[in-house]
Amino acid sequence: MPEENRLDAIATREQRATVDPQGMLDLVLKFPDQCREAVSIPWHYGVGGSEPAETRRIAVTGLGGSAIGGDFLRCLADEYGPIPVMVNRDYHLPHWVNRNTLVIAASYSGNTEETLQAIRDAGLAEAQIAVVTSGGRLAEIAKHAGYAYALVPGGQPPRSATGYMFFPQLNFLAHRSLLRHTFDKDIEETVHVLEQLARRLGPEVPTAQNVAKQLAQALYGKIPVIYGSQGYRGVVAYRWKCQFNENTKIAAFSNVLPEQNHNEILAWVQANKQAQNWAVVFLRDPQERSENPRILRRVEVTQELVGRVAGVYEVYAEGESLLARLFSLVYIADFVSVYLAYLYGVCPTEISYIDHLKEELTKLG
Ligand code: F6R
């Protein structure tokens, strides 16, 4: 069957049963609802931990699909926050973490060993601690130690639960006046934009009208390189890369301008000797001209140079608020990576190598 028809023959759940037995696309389609639900997830404010102190910085600690929510938070804090947010993806927290640091431990399963070690570090540093998880050991630790925690619904792959993992963090910061912005309208807009995207990119929309299916086809057999045009698009480019890695099981790479213009741009001199099948997706924003007019010229020149050896594609953020624009670009990758998995005939949900690695490490005790 031609690839185009393969993507058009998956409109119903039954038709997708063999290619997507665990229903990743169904989770993707429910993502706008997940975000709406996530906004109302309550925080349980503990009584334990150290004495309240002034919060001067924030460290979100987590890995993979749970860490990316911290990256989104950082993007918002860069725009609206009075204090910095950093994201820690390792066993240990930086040594500057102290009682003036809010540490948010984010692990969907609640059993990721690096995050469990990092929360121990946070305790030793007498940091202010908050936990977002669906359960596991992390929930036990939070309840036992009296840390603030938000319990999110469990039972799905962490990378499909970024709404659950992100919105409680946003609420926590807003509740503690750690973001100088009111997000109610932005959240409404974000969910609305996501719902519109789900209608336009969903499985029943044929390839001829479906840009996610079209991009999946264009990327078939290629090595995707995702470039964010600037700012938060760098974080989103990394999310696209990870979705191609985890959902599609392919190599993919990401970077962001202007940094790319100072080193990686030279990779395109010889890239076609390394492989003939690169494809570059630029993640753009309609507001980038007002953010920085010079970035437009950077994108144009980069596209011209890269376009000599690779197909170049563009995807634009939608919506007005930063939150909506960020989530719209994130959401498009969910569809493209799952459709591309269908074209390769791989199950988007299974992550056998990650599971294997975690099992091997468990054996160490
Ligand atoms: C799996 C996924 C992974 C996990 C990571 C950490 O869907 O996205 O990147 O997020 O292995 O596990 P958690 O999120 O349970 O702490």
DSSP string, 270-293: HHHHH-S-EEEEEEE-TTHHHH-H
Which of 243, 354, 356, when mutated, tests ligand 1's pocket best, judged by the most ligand atoms within 8 Å of its CB?
A: 354
Ligand 1 lining (C-beta closer than 6 Å): 62-66, 107-109, 112, 115, 157-159, 246, 351, 354
Cβ–Cβ < 8 Å for 84, 40: no
* Sheet strand arrangement including 278-284: 253-256, 223-228, 278-284, 311-316
* Residue at 130: amino acid letter: A
Rounded mean pLDDT, 243-265:
98
Q: How far apart are CA 220 and CA 107, in angstroms?
A: 32
Q: How far apart are CA 97 and CA 47, in angstroms?
A: 21
Residue 49's pLDDT is 53
Length of the chain: 365
Q: How confident is the model at residue 40 (pLDDT cuts 50, 70, 90)?
A: very high
Q: How confident is the model at residue 365 (pLDDT cuts 50, 70, 90)?
A: confident
Integer CA distances (angstroms), 256 to 132, 159, 259, 308, 317, in order? 29, 22, 6, 19, 15
Ligand 1, atom 10, residue with closest C-alpha: 65
Provide the annotated active-site residues. Answer: 246, 262, 358
Cβ–Cβ < 8 Å for 126, 99: yes
Q: What percent of the chain has pLDDT over 70?
A: 98
CA angle 290, 292, 295 (to 5 degrees): 120
Distance of CA 112 from the midpoint of ligand 1 (Å): 8
Checking if the pLDDT of 363 tops 60, the result is yes
Cβ–Cβ < 8 Å for 108, 165: yes
Q: How far apart are CA 114 and CA 84, in angstroms?
A: 22
Both tokens assigned to 131: 């936990």
List Cβ neighbours of 207 (8 Å cut-off, separation of 6 or more): 4, 7, 8, 213, 214, 217
Checking if the pLDDT of 82 tops 60, the result is yes
Distance of CA 298 from the midpoint of ligand 1 (Å): 34
List Cβ neighbours of 72 (8 Å cut-off, separation of 6 or more): 162, 166, 235, 326, 327, 330
Q: Which residues of 90-115 are buried (b: 16+ CB within 10 A; e: fewer)?
A: eeebeeebebebbbbbbbbbbbbebb
Rounded mean pLDDT, 332-359:
96
Q: Give the ligand 1 atom nearest the CA of 107.
A: 16
Cβ–Cβ < 8 Å for 169, 106: yes
Mean of the per-residue pLDDT values of the chain: 96
Residue 46's pLDDT is 74
Distance of CA 238 from the midpoint of ligand 1 (Å): 15
Q: Give the ligand 1 atom nearest the CA of 64.
A: 9
Residue carrying structure tokens 């993507």: 7
Distance of CA 354 from the midpoint of ligand 1 (Å): 9
Distance of CA 160 from the midpoint of ligand 1 (Å): 10
| Antiparallel, parallel or unpaired: β 57-61 and 85-88 | parallel
Checking if the pLDDT of 4 tops 90, the result is no
Which of 108, 138, 355, when mutated, tests ligand 1's pocket best, judged by the most ligand atoms within 8 Å of its CB?
A: 108
Which of 31, 60, 91, 109, when mutated, tests ligand 1's pocket best, judged by the most ligand atoms within 8 Å of its CB?
A: 109
Q: Give the ligand 1 atom nearest the CA of 160.
A: 7
Q: Give the ligand 1 atom nearest the CA of 351.
A: 1
Residue carrying structure tokens 């639960």: 161
Q: How far apart are CA 209 and CA 100, in angstroms?
A: 52
Q: Give the ligand 1 atom nearest the CA of 112.
A: 16
Residue 209's pLDDT is 97
Longest dimension (CA), the chain: 65
More confident residue, 346 or 6: 346
Distance of CA 147 from the midpoint of ligand 1 (Å): 22
Number of other residues whose CB lies within 10 A of the CB of residue 263: 9
Ligand 1, atom 16, residue with closest C-alpha: 107
Rounded mean pLDDT, 332-354:
97
Distance of CA 155 from the midpoint of ligand 1 (Å): 12
Rounded mean pLDDT, 271-276:
96
Which of 71, 112, 134, 164, when mutated, tests ligand 1's pocket best, judged by the most ligand atoms within 8 Å of its CB?
A: 112
Residue 6's pLDDT is 84
Q: How confident is the model at residue 243 (pLDDT cuts 50, 70, 90)?
A: very high
Q: Give the ligand 1 atom nearest the CA of 62.
A: 16
Residue 50's pLDDT is 54
Ligand 1, atom 15, residue with closest C-alpha: 109
